[in-house]
Amino acid sequence: MVFSLITALPMFLFFMTTTFSYAWSASRGKVVPYEPLGLFVSFVGLTSPNIVDSYTTVRFLVGMVQSAFLCNVFLILHVNFGDWVDIRYARYCSTLFGIYSFLRLTYFKTMLIPKRPLKLNWKSIITISIFFISTGYYMYPYTPSLNLFYHVYVYLLCIETSIWYYTKEFRLYCKYPKKEFTWFHKAYYITVHRS
């Protein structure tokens, strides 16, 4: 599943611009954009291991899900109850989402893709779907459409995390195939088993 790899950077930019615009309007232009500075924390990916493992990927996905969900909740609470919840909490969560998404993109030089047929745990997917449908139904009258877009994105991230969690066999691919890295080409189509 490469959904989180493809959408990590655009969604971080969406979260960052949304929280920054709310902070800009709340403080009347006296705000410092510290969300991109949080990405410098994640430059440990430059000295990262080469071969990815599924446990670290699941940890990054869970971090992305939690920070995106909390950022969306804080944005909804700030829009509806601006005096109760400060926009800083949503900005912290968007910074954490940026760190996790940047680590998901750059920490390893290889990527795992679950082997087909996918191992789906239907109880998990049904539970996730019921939770997000019910919360989306109840928050619909109180939120702008952008927050519903974030809600659907977090739902899809949860489904991907569930698939990753229950899958035991993966195919290993190189993210950046180059001619000088011939040992990466040997790693193609290796099945990685997780116990």
Q: Locate 23 and state its tokens.
A: 């902070």
Taking the C-alpha atoms of 114, 115, 116 and 119 in order, what is their torsion angle to the nearest 10 degrees?
A: -60
Average pLDDT of the segment spanning 120-131 = 90
20 in Cβ contact with 35 (< 8 Å): yes
Q: Which amino acid is residue 44, in one-letter code?
A: V
Query: Based on the number of CB atoms within 10 Å of its own CB, is 96 exposed (0-12), middle (13-18) or buried (19 or more)?
Result: buried
DSSP secondary structure of 27-75 = HTT-----TGGGGGGGGGGGG--SS--HHHHHHHHHHHHHHHHHHHHHH
Question: Tell me, what's the pLDDT at 60?
Answer: 87
pLDDT, the chain, mean: 79
What is the reported pTM?
0.82
Helix, strand, coil % over all residues of the chain, rounded to 5: 70, 10, 25
Structural domain boundaries of the chain? 3-193
* Calpha distance 106→9 (Å, rounded): 11
Contact 153, 11 (CB under 8 A): yes
pLDDT in tens, 166-191: 887 777 777 766 655 555 555 455 55
The contacts of residue 116 (CB under 8 Å, 6+ apart) are: none
- Whether pLDDT at 49 is above 80: no
